[in-house]
Chain A
Amino acid sequence: DVKVTQSSRYLVKRTGEKVFLECVQDMDHENMFWYRQDPGLGLRLIYFSYDVKMKEKGDIPEGYSVSREKKERFSLILESASTNQTSMYLCASSFPGTTMNTEAFFGQGTRLTVV
């Protein structure tokens, strides 16, 4: 089975801290994604990576950065955490969407609270 693992399910951080959210997948997927999920807003794309060291901004990249040094690992970085970044963060991975294997597989999510 495909597995996407996020390093923490719950995280509490202080305002101004630098926060790292880690995601690892074991299916050799080229694509990896970070989404933010808020009630009533659905899932919004923060960043997307389609290959090692390659990244593209999503819809809400402000206040975030990402790192993909290895194919299986995609990190989301909050440079200086703020209370409005309190949210659920979902990582996902997939093959390129040129084949039948177009579905994305998701991690368990990280509930981040910034106080």
Chain B
Amino acid sequence: AQTVTQSQPEMSVQEAETVTLSCTYDTSESDYYLFWYKQPPSRQMILVIRQEAYKQQNATENRFSVNFQKAAKSFSLKISDSQLGDAAMYFCAYRKPQRLYGGSQGNLIFGKGTKLSVKP
């Protein structure tokens, strides 16, 4: 079974600094998707960034980037120029490609989350 591990329950960063959140996963699949989700105190989970396993290039979205190491099964999130609004729970998630009209492969498997605090 696939598993996702986030080894840092809590992290802290100074405003304007850079922080990296770690995520490792276990799978025997070669084709899959990886995600980082953010859950602010308001609770709505929103997508931060996604990575397709077949793409070698690391995904970037403005101040957010990933370091995807497929062989090591590692998928870390780097937040540059941290802002107060980045304070949230961050969840790493894994998903297999799903067959059209079938199967439980469509669900996301989440890590336990990392609580990020940003100090002014």
Contacts and interface: CB of A to CB of B under 8 A. Distances in A.
Interface of A: 30-31, 33, 35, 40-45, 48, 50-51, 56, 58, 88, 90, 92, 94, 96-98, 100, 102-104, 106-109
Task: Classify chain B's interface size.
Answer: 20 to 34
Please name the 7 residue pairs, one residue from A and one from B, whose CB atoms are nearest each other, closest first: A97-B98, A42-B112, A106-B45, A43-B110, A56-B104, A109-B43, A31-B106
B72 interface: no
B98 A98 contact: yes
Contacts of A92: 45, 108
B25 interface: no
- With a 10 A CB-CB cut-off, give which of B42, B47, B52, B104 has the most chain A CB atoms: B104
A48 B104 contact: yes
A103 B35 contact: yes
Interface in B14-71: 33, 35, 37, 42-47, 50, 52
B45 A102 contact: no
Interface of B: 9, 33, 35, 37, 42-47, 50, 52, 91, 95-113
A104 B9 CA distance: 23
Contacts of A96: 98-101, 106
Given A96-B101, A97-B106, A102-B95, A42 B111 contact: yes
B68 to A, nearest CB: 15
- With a 10 A CB-CB cut-off, give which of B37, B44, B45, B102 has the most chain A CB atoms: B45
B112 A40 contact: yes
- With a 10 A CB-CB cut-off, give which of A45, A92, A104 has the most chain B CB atoms: A104
A6 B35 CA distance: 23
A41 B112 contact: yes
B108 A109 contact: no
A109 B110 contact: no
Contact of A42 (B91, B96, B102, B107): B91
A42 B99 CA distance: 26
Contact of A50 (B43, B52, B103, B109): B103
Contacts of A42: 91, 110-113
Nearest to B97: A97
